[in-house]
Amino acid sequence: MFGRPLFRWVLRITIVCVVLAVGLWTIWPWLPSQKDRRPRTIVLYGFSILEPVITKGIFPAFQKRWFEQTGQRVELISSFGGSGTVTNQLIMGVPAEVAILSTELDAQRLQKAGVVHGETWKKLPHKGVMNRTPFIIQVRPGNPKRIHDFSGLTQPGVRVVHMDPLTSGAANWAIVAEYGAAVRQPGSGPDAGRAMLLGIWRNVAVQAGSGRAARTQFDSGFGDALITYEQDAIWSRSRGSSRFEIVYPRSTILSEHTVVVIDERVSERQKELVGAFVDFLWSEEAQRIFVRSGFRSVDERLNSLNPQFGHIRDPFFIDDFGGWRKAKLTIIDDTWKNRVVKELKP
Amino acid sequence: MNQGKAFYKKISHMLPAGFLVLVLLPLLLLPLASVFIYALRGGLGNLAAALTTTDVLFALRFSLIIAFATAVINTVLGTYAAWVLSKTRFPGREQLGIILNLPVAIPNVVVGTSLLLLWGPIGLFGQVLEPLGIQPMFTPVGVLLAHVFVTFPYMLGTIKPVLDDLETTYEEAAYTMGASRWQTFLHVLFPALKGGLLTGALLTFAHSLGEFGATVMVSGNLRLRTQTAPLYIFSQFESGNIQAANSVAAVLAILSFALFSLILFLAARTGKKGAQRGK
């Protein structure tokens, strides 16, 4: 060591140079010369499967339009997670200006917690519903368990990957889809719905925190069937990352995704920008982007643009069960939580 | 014959090390290797592309800044705490020492929730501060607060043993020669602490760089605002973007490796110096 002072100096100088270079690179965007190039921002919290379409499709399109109209650059500050998780974060006070939730149920929770005052989302186009997607069943290639409808999931030995209703909006949709599919069979009643839920939930092998997390689990080889958004399956297929088949149930629900503007968190200066972004979500340009990435548009005419959409014989909506307020009480709470879950416990 | 013996001796020396490597292979080395394999799966071009997206650049920069700020704050705070615990006598000193070391024992997620429940908009202080327009949670300040909390004991743990070992005679000599407390610290304590300070700061930096549990609670996980590199990795992994996640994971792994090499190198050097001084 002591015989090589030159080597030691070179080593020291190299370390110092590397540290300085990393330091300079780190603070670069915050240097005074870069200040005037800092863009305006919109803070958005969204449910899990929205991430790719918002960050890669919708927002860049809005960015471009806003720049053309005003010459200002705008950047999206965003966070994505299970709809329930996002809602809890909003109640905890995260600085969101816009939230896109997977169910109106979560919007109602925001209202109850005082994050928004009144059902403000109802004043937006289509009562705040931005787009839709039906619930489908995803099975392994060749459908080895022969699952052709929700009833197929009740067979013994089928391992179902389901989302967790506590944190995931998709899970709530899925429960209503399962219940509804049974109830809507000709000549059946509420008991059929309960029996269906019991049969499926007996086979639930794993509960994931969000729609996206459930997909990741299924893709990594776990389970025989996954109940999820059609969009998620189409998107996943387009990336070619997993091999699976989509099973369209005879009857299934179309989930409707709700946009909520958190008025209290939108400053006076931001009102115009946030308003423009929210309006943009229902523009034809944005709706076309949604359709291209697998969501069904609220504008029925656009839905023929995506040939990957499957046919559903008997689609239904949450309004068929009297809206989320009623469905939450009768289906989620009374039937699923108070009866099915209790019966499952040994 | 002799040669054979030597060979046998050589092998028997290598055996324990070989066994250690064998045990560590699936535990430590292979998982690390797979990070790099997945990061490089799409080729170097893809790796470069994955590393230069706005999100990644921000997350890496943000992590480095927070880690640096945390290291600076805890170098000052930790050294002061070590000095108080080591050189002053007061009732409850031992208990205070235990409390100051608690962050190592508390799960980081709990640190995060406790900060939220104190400073968050619905928290004890937060409720009072919110109307004043002060809201540290879900901002970079909140992240910094969490990191300072979580990494506090590392500086303390590095400095306190050095101070404990340092004989008070040096300080007393300084005092008798009329030096003030500050002069004593600067000329007597600081030179002895130099190595420890650097090691402690790097240790704090490295831990802050990788912090996840507390950050995920207090940051709101906002991309381009509060998303640190580990949060980015988690979000991308959960969304199934395994390559994007692993690209950043590989960068963090390399950074940590460099940091810990430096720490070990420094620790070895200061250890040697200490031994020399002891003689």
Same domain, A270 and A321: no
- Between the alpha carbon of residue B155 and those of residues B160, B193, B201, the distances in Å are 8, 11, 7
Residues A214, A163 contacting (CB under 8 angstroms): yes
**The Cα angle at residue B247 between residues B255 and B61, in degrees rounded to 5:** 55
Query: Would you place residue B212 in the very low, low, confident or very high pLDDT band (cuts 50, 70, 90)?
Result: very high
C-alpha distance from A123 to closest chain B C-alpha (Å)? 27
The answer to the question of residue A319 being in a domain is: yes
| The two structure tokens encoding residue B172 | 């007393």
Q: Give the chain B residue whose CA is nearest to the CA of A38.
A: B224
The rounded Cα B145 to chain-centroid distance in angstroms is 14
Q: What was the pLDDT predicted at A3?
A: 54
Q: How far apart are CA A173 and CA A102, in angstroms?
A: 9
Q: Give the chain B residue whose CA is nearest to the CA of A113.
A: B122
Q: For residue B210, is pLDDT > 70?
A: yes
- Residue A54, helix vs strand vs coil: helix
The residues of A whose Cβ lies within 8 A of any Cβ of B are: 15, 22-23, 25-29, 41, 43, 48, 51-52, 75-81, 89, 91-95, 210, 212-213, 215-216, 219, 236, 241
Mean pLDDT (chain B) is: 87
* Chain A residues inside the 8 Å CB shell of B224: 41, 75-78
Same domain, A70 and A198: no
Q: What was the pLDDT predicted at B273?
A: 56
Q: What was the pLDDT predicted at A275?
A: 96
* Chain A residues inside the 8 Å CB shell of B198: none
Same domain, A141 and A80: no
B220·A94 Cβ contact <8 A: yes
Same domain, A92 and A170: no
Same domain, A244 and A106: no
First-to-last alpha carbon distance for chain A, in angstroms, is: 70
Q: What was the pLDDT predicted at B150?
A: 94
pLDDT tens, B54-89?
A: 899 999 999 999 999 999 999 999 999 998 998 888
Closest residue to B61, CB basis, from A29, A95, A219: A29
Domain limits at A320?
A: 133-255+310-344
Look up residue B171 and give its amino acid.
Answer: E
C-alpha distance from B162 to closest chain A C-alpha (Å)? 25
* Chain B residues inside the 8 Å CB shell of A115: none
Q: Name residues whose C-beta falls within 8 Å of residue B171's C-beta, 6 or more positions apart in sequence.
A: B87, B184, B188, B189
Closest residue to B122, CB basis, from A25, A29, A93: A93
Task: For residue B92, count CB atoms less than 10 angstroms from its CB and return exposed for 0-12, middle for 13-18, buried for 19 or more.
Answer: exposed
pLDDT per residue of chain A (346 residues) written in tens, 0 to 9: 445 788 888 888 988 899 999 999 999 888 877 666 678 999 999 998 899 999 999 999 999 999 999 999 999 999 998 888 899 999 988 889 999 999 999 999 999 999 999 999 999 999 999 999 999 999 999 999 999 999 999 999 999 999 988 888 899 999 999 999 999 988 888 889 999 999 999 999 988 888 888 888 888 888 999 999 999 999 888 877 568 999 999 999 999 999 999 998 899 999 999 999 999 999 999 999 999 999 999 999 999 999 999 999 999 999 999 999 999 999 999 999 999 988 887 6
The answer to the question of residue A104 being in a domain is: yes
Q: How many CA atoms lie within 13 A of B55 on its CB side?
A: 23
C-alpha distance from A92 to closest chain B C-alpha (Å)? 7
C-alpha distance from B12 to closest chain A C-alpha (Å)? 30
**Helices assigned H by DSSP within chain A:** 5-27, 51-52, 59-70, 83-92, 104-112, 169-183, 190-202, 211-219, 230-238, 271-281, 284-292, 323-327, 341-344
Q: How far apart are CA A127 and CA B198, in angstroms?
A: 59
First-to-last alpha carbon distance for chain B, in angstroms, is: 44
A48·B239 Cβ contact <8 A: yes
Strand partners, B272: none
B224·A77 Cβ contact <8 A: yes
| The two structure tokens encoding residue A270 | 């931001």
The answer to the question of residue A5 being in a domain is: no
Mutate to test the interface with A, among B223, B226, B242 (most CBs of A within 10 A): B223
B240·A215 Cβ contact <8 A: yes
Which of A171, A157, A253, A245 lies closest to A213 in space, CA to CA?
A171
Closest residue to B222, CB basis, from A28, A29, A79: A79
The crossing angle, in degrees rounded to 10, of helices B140-165 and B190-210 is: 140
CATH of the domain at A185: 3.40.190.10
* Chain B residues inside the 8 Å CB shell of A94: 138, 220, 222
**Residue tagged 């610290």 (tokens):** B185
Q: For residue B276, is pLDDT > 60?
A: no
Residues B219, B111 contacting (CB under 8 angstroms): no
Same domain, A335 and A251: yes
Which of B124, B122, B107 lies closest to B216 in space, CA to CA?
B107
* Chain B residues inside the 8 Å CB shell of A216: 237-240
Q: How many CA atoms lie within 13 A of B7 on its CB side?
A: 4
| The two structure tokens encoding residue A200 | 């499926």
Same domain, A332 and A202: yes
* Chain A residues inside the 8 Å CB shell of B238: 48, 210, 212-213, 216
Dihedral sign (CA A104, A105, A108, A113)? negative
Largest CA distance in chain A: 94
B49-73 b/e (C-beta count within 10 Å ≥ 16 → b): ebbeeebbbbbbbbbbbbbbbbbeb
ipTM: 0.76
Q: Give the chain B residue whose CA is nearest to the CA of A79.
A: B222
C-alpha distance from A185 to closest chain B C-alpha (Å)? 36
pLDDT tens, B102-161?
A: 988 899 999 999 998 898 887 888 888 878 878 888 999 999 999 999 999 999 999 999
| The two structure tokens encoding residue A18 | 């590397």
The answer to the question of residue A185 being in a domain is: yes
C-alpha distance from B84 to closest chain A C-alpha (Å)? 32
B223·A22 Cβ contact <8 A: no
Domain parsing of chain B, residue ranges? 31-278
Q: What was the pLDDT predicted at B278?
A: 39
A77·B223 Cβ contact <8 A: yes
Same domain, A194 and A62: no
A93·B135 Cβ contact <8 A: yes
According to DSSP, residue B167 is labeled -
Residues A111, A130 contacting (CB under 8 angstroms): no
A80·B61 Cβ contact <8 A: no
The answer to the question of residue A25 being in a domain is: no
Mutate to test the interface with B, among A2, A94, A232 (most CBs of B within 10 A): A94
Question: What is the tally of structural domains in chain A?
Answer: 2
Q: How far apart are CA A207 and CA A168, in angstroms?
A: 10
DSSP string, A208-264: ESSHHHHHHHHHTT--SEEEEEHHHHHHHHHTT----EEE--SEEEEEEEEEEE-GG
Same domain, A77 and A103: yes
- Per DSSP bridges, beta strands A40-47 and A74-81 are parallel
B223·A29 Cβ contact <8 A: no
Residues B75, B248 contacting (CB under 8 angstroms): no
B224·A27 Cβ contact <8 A: no
A92·B121 Cβ contact <8 A: yes
* Chain B residues inside the 8 Å CB shell of A15: 262
Dihedral sign (CA A95, B124, B63, B51)? negative
The answer to the question of residue A3 being in a domain is: no
B239·A216 Cβ contact <8 A: yes
Q: How far apart are CA A7 and CA A208, in angstroms?
A: 55
pLDDT tens, B229-240?
A: 999 999 888 777
C-alpha distance from B236 to closest chain A C-alpha (Å)? 10
- Per DSSP bridges, beta strands A129-139 and A225-229 are antiparallel
H/E run at residue B64: helix B54-87
Q: Give the chain B residue whose CA is nearest to the CA of A85.
A: B220
The residues of B whose Cβ lies within 8 A of any Cβ of A are: 54, 60-61, 64-65, 68, 116, 120-122, 126, 130, 135, 137-139, 220-225, 227, 235, 237-240, 262
The number of residues in chain B equals: 279
Same domain, A43 and A137: no
Same domain, A161 and A199: yes
The arrangement of secondary structure in B31-278, i.e. its CATH architecture, is: Orthogonal Bundle (1.10)
* Chain A residues inside the 8 Å CB shell of B220: 79, 89, 94-95
Closest residue to B220, CB basis, from A41, A48, A89: A89
